[in-house]
Amino acid sequence: MKWTQDKIKNKFEYFKQERVEKRGKFTEFVVRMYYCIYKQCTVNNAIYCRASDVSSYKVKYKIYEGFYDGKPDHDNKSVIDDCVRHLKEMGYIQFKKENEIWVIYLKRPLDFLLDGEHEAYLEKYEIRDEINFE
């Protein structure tokens, strides 16, 4: 189901406010999921990566690092899937099937981060090359 522009705008405002107040964990998980995809894209020297390379099974430890002693008290796959869905519906990523393989394209940078957060995540995920979205 495609989100309406109002829903996208409301979610954007919510995420932006969460970066300031940090009341919950979900927005942090969304950001971490984005940077897991970002990193895999830079490893491939592309603006896309195979979806299987950033599956919930492969990235769950990066997503949950520092929370729940590394052992979530809930179904982490559904939370990670929700993060991916939010990124997709807000237009940050796009899925395409190419040669029978699902790939994820980065469509645009996260624009709800606070000043300096992008650079902090590049460092945290040891991302050396930045993606050019033009």
The pLDDT of residue 110: 96
* Strand pairing report for 48-50 and 101-106: antiparallel
> What predicted TM-score, i.e. pTM, was given to this entire model?
0.93
**CB contact set of 10 (below 8 Å; sequence gap of 6+):** none
Residue type, 42: T
The pLDDT of residue 1: 66
The pLDDT of residue 69: 74
Mean pLDDT score of the chain, rounded to an integer?
92
The pLDDT of residue 68: 77
Residue 112 has pLDDT above 90, yes or no: yes
Which CATH class for the 5-16+24-124 domain? Answer: mainly alpha
Query: What whole-number distance in Å separates Cα of residue 50 and Cα of residue 122?
Result: 20
Residue 70 has pLDDT above 70, yes or no: no
Closest CA to 40 of 129, 117, 116, 108: 129
In the chain, the N- to C-terminal Cα span, in Å, equals 28
Tokens 């984005």: give the residue. 34
Residue 73 has pLDDT above 70, yes or no: no
